[in-house]
Amino acid sequence: MVLVLALGDLHVPHRAADLPPKFKSMLVPGKIQHVICTGNLCVKEVHDYLKTVCPDLHIALGEYDEETRYPETKTLTIGQFKLGVGHGHQVIPWGDLDSLAMLQRQLDVDILVTGHTHQFTAYKHEAGVVINPGSATGSYSSINYDVNPSFVLMDIDGLRVVVYVYELIDGEVKVDKIDFKKTTASST
Amino acid sequence: MDNPLSQNPDSMWGRFFKNAELERMLDQDLTRLYPEPGSYFQKPGCQGILRRVLLLWCLRHPEYGYRQGMHELLAPLLYVLHVDVERLSEVRKLYEDHFIDEFDSFSFHENDSTYKFDFKKFSDSAKDGNGLGKGSVKFSSLGELDPRIQTVVLLSDAYGAEGELGIVISKKFMEHDAYSMFDALMSGAGGAIAMAEFFSPSPFGNSHFGFPPVIEASAALYHLLSIVDSSLHGHLAELGVEPQYFALRWLRVLFGREFSLDDLLIIWDKIFSYDNTKVNKPADNVSNSTFAALSSHRGAFISAFAVSIILHLRSQVLATENATACLQRLLNFPDDIDLVKLLVKAKSLQALAIDANNSTSPMIYPGFYYRSKSVSTRGHSLSLDLTSPRTPPNVVPDSYWEEKWRDLHKEEEHEEGVIGKLHKSRKGWSERVRLRLSRTESDQSSSKVGKIQKDQKSPVRKTLLKDLASQLRSDEDTEKTVYDGDIGHQDPVEVNGQEITDKNFGSMSEPRYLSGNAESEENSSNFSDSPSPISGSNGRQNDSGKSSIASNLSINENDPGPCGTTPECSTLPISDSPDELSLKCAQNDNSLGKSTMGMKERKFLSGKFQWLWKFGRNASEGTSEKIGACEDAKACIGGSVQNIVVGSLTADGCDSSSRISEETVEQNLMGSFRNLGQSMLQNIQVIEAVFQLDRGHTGPLENSSKNGFVGQGQFTALAALEELRKISNLLSEM
Please report the DSSP string for B448-460 in residue order: HHHHHHHHHHHHH
- Overall average pLDDT of the B709-723 stretch: 70
CA dist., res. B225 & res. A100, Å (int):
79
pLDDT digits (tens, 9 = 90+) for B237-246: 888 888 778 8
Tell whether the model's pLDDT for residue B522 goes beyond 80. no
**pLDDT for the residue numbered A167:** 94
Highest mean pLDDT among B420-429, B442-451, B643-652, B675-684: B675-684
Stated as kind and residue range, the H or E segment containing A155 is: strand A150-157
**pLDDT for the residue numbered B86:** 83
Helix (H, G, I), strand (E, B) or coil at B258: coil
Phi, psi for residue B627 in degrees, rounded to 5: -115, 145
Helix (H, G, I), strand (E, B) or coil at B375: coil
ipTM attached to this prediction: 0.81
Asked whether the whole model's pTM tops 0.80, one would answer no
> Of B379, B385, B393, B370, nearest to B495 (Cα)?
B385
Strand partners, A128: A125
- Overall average pLDDT of the B337-352 stretch: 80
Tell whether the model's pLDDT for residue B145 goes beyond 90. no
Measured between beta carbons, the chain A residues lying within 8 angstroms of B6 are: 175
Tell me which of B485 and A37 has the higher pLDDT: A37
* Residue B434 region by backbone torsions, left for phi larger than 0, else alpha for psi between -120 and 50, else beta: alpha
Tell whether the model's pLDDT for residue B525 goes beyond 70. no
CA dist., res. B452 & res. B444, Å (int):
13
Residues 6+ apart with CB under 8 A from A71: A60, A61
Q: How far from the centroid of its chain's Cα atoms is residue B694's Cα?
A: 27
Measured between beta carbons, the chain B residues lying within 8 angstroms of A177 are: 1, 3
Q: Shortest CB distance from B5 goes to which of A1, A153, A177?
A: A153
Distances from the Cα of B476 to the Cα of B293, B547, B632, angstroms: 41, 25, 36
CA dist., res. B368 & res. B391, Å (int):
11
- Overall average pLDDT of the B203-228 stretch: 70
Measured between beta carbons, the chain B residues lying within 8 angstroms of A21 are: none
**pLDDT for the residue numbered A113:** 95
**Partner-chain contact A25 B16, CB within 8 Å:** no
- Overall average pLDDT of the A106-133 stretch: 91
CB A98: neighbour CB atoms within 10 A? 9
Measured between beta carbons, the chain B residues lying within 8 angstroms of A29 are: none
CA dist., res. B158 & res. B149, Å (int):
16
Helix (H, G, I), strand (E, B) or coil at B21: helix
**pLDDT for the residue numbered A152:** 95
Specify whether the CB–CB gap between B188 and B194 falls below 8 A: yes
Rounded to 5°, angle at Cα B492 from B487 and B498 = 70
Specify whether the CB–CB gap between B398 and B498 falls below 8 A: no
DSSP B290-347: S-GGGSBHHHHHHHHHHHHHHHHTHHHHHH--SHHHHHHHHHS--S---HHHHHHHHH
**pLDDT for the residue numbered B124:** 43
Tell whether the model's pLDDT for residue B613 goes beyond 50. no
- Overall average pLDDT of the B621-640 stretch: 40
**Partner-chain contact B1 A155, CB within 8 Å:** no
Nearest residue in A to B18, CA atom:
A31
pLDDT digits (tens, 9 = 90+) for A159-171: 899 999 999 999 8
**Partner-chain contact A3 B1, CB within 8 Å:** no
CA dist., res. B442 & res. B430, Å (int):
18
Stated as kind and residue range, the H or E segment containing B592 is: helix B577-592
With the C-alpha atoms ordered B419, B425, B429, B435, is the resulting torsion angle positive or negative? negative
Q: How confident is the model at residue A187 (pLDDT cuts 50, 70, 90)?
A: very low
- For B70-90, letters b (16+ CB in 10 Å) and e give bbbbbbbbbbbbbebbeebee
Measured between beta carbons, the chain A residues lying within 8 angstroms of B4 are: 3, 31, 153, 155, 164
**Partner-chain contact B3 A1, CB within 8 Å:** no
**Partner-chain contact B5 A31, CB within 8 Å:** yes
Mutate to test the interface with A, among B3, B15, B18, B19 (most CBs of A within 10 A): B3
Rounded to 5°, angle at Cα B237 from B427 and B270 = 155
CA dist., res. B171 & res. B81, Å (int):
9
CA dist., res. B366 & res. B216, Å (int):
11
> Of B413, B612, B414, B415, nearest to B510 (Cα)?
B415
CA dist., res. B492 & res. B411, Å (int):
12
Mutate to test the interface with A, among B5, B6, B8 (most CBs of A within 10 A): B5
**Partner-chain contact A31 B3, CB within 8 Å:** no
- Overall average pLDDT of the B249-274 stretch: 84
Tell whether the model's pLDDT for residue B96 goes beyond 90. no
Supply the DSSP symbol for A12. B
**pLDDT for the residue numbered B619:** 42
Tell whether the model's pLDDT for residue B437 goes beyond 60. no
**pLDDT for the residue numbered B412:** 56
**pLDDT for the residue numbered B213:** 75
- Overall average pLDDT of the B351-362 stretch: 65
pLDDT digits (tens, 9 = 90+) for A43-78: 999 999 999 999 899 999 999 999 889 999 999 999
Distances from the Cα of B669 to the Cα of B554, B599, B646, B648, B658, angstroms: 15, 22, 13, 8, 13
Tell whether the model's pLDDT for residue B688 goes beyond 60. yes
CA dist., res. A10 & res. A44, Å (int):
12
**Partner-chain contact A26 B7, CB within 8 Å:** yes
Highest mean pLDDT among B386-390, B518-522, B706-710: B706-710
Stated as kind and residue range, the H or E segment containing B536 is: helix B531-557
Phi, psi for residue A177 in degrees, rounded to 5: -135, 135
Tell me which of A181 and B380 has the higher pLDDT: A181
Residues 6+ apart with CB under 8 A from B102: B108, B123, B159
Specify whether the CB–CB gap between B583 and B400 falls below 8 A: no
Q: Is B51 exposed, middle or buried (0-12, 13-18, 19+ CB in 10 A)?
A: middle
**Is-cis flag, bond preceding B563, omega within 30?**
no
CA dist., res. B440 & res. B627, Å (int):
9
**pLDDT for the residue numbered B423:** 40
Measured between beta carbons, the chain B residues lying within 8 angstroms of A1 are: 16
Amino acid at B709: F
* Residue B145 region by backbone torsions, left for phi larger than 0, else alpha for psi between -120 and 50, else beta: beta
**pLDDT for the residue numbered B698:** 47
**Partner-chain contact A164 B4, CB within 8 Å:** yes
Between chain A and chain B, the number of residue pairs with CB atoms below 8 A apart is 24
**Partner-chain contact B4 A153, CB within 8 Å:** yes
Helix (H, G, I), strand (E, B) or coil at A129: strand
Q: How confident is the model at residue B465 (pLDDT cuts 50, 70, 90)?
A: very low
Q: To the nearest 10°, report the CA torsion of B303, B307, B312, B318.
A: 150
**pLDDT for the residue numbered A174:** 92
CA dist., res. A107 & res. A74, Å (int):
8
Highest mean pLDDT among A95-104, B38-47, B343-352: A95-104
**pLDDT for the residue numbered B210:** 58
> Of B622, B634, B625, nearest to B718 (Cα)?
B634
pLDDT digits (tens, 9 = 90+) for B594-606: 334 434 444 444 4
Amino acid at B440: T
Supply the DSSP symbol for A42. B
Specify whether the CB–CB gap between B626 and B709 falls below 8 A: yes
Helix (H, G, I), strand (E, B) or coil at B720: helix
Q: How far from the centroid of its chain's Cα atoms is residue B211's Cα?
A: 21
CA dist., res. B370 & res. B367, Å (int):
6
Highest mean pLDDT among A110-119, B70-79, B300-309: A110-119
Supply the DSSP symbol for B189. G
List the single range of A143-157, B188-202, B402-416 with lowest mean pLDDT.
B402-416
DSSP B604-656: HHHHHHHHHHHHHHHHHHHS-S--SHHHHHHHHHHHHHHHHHHHHHHHHHHHH
Specify whether the CB–CB gap between B687 and B725 falls below 8 A: no
CB B113: neighbour CB atoms within 10 A? 7
CA dist., res. B664 & res. B91, Å (int):
53
Phi, psi for residue B559 in degrees, rounded to 5: -60, 140
Q: Shortest CB distance from A164 goes to which of B3, B16, B17?
A: B3
Measured between beta carbons, the chain B residues lying within 8 angstroms of A25 are: 7
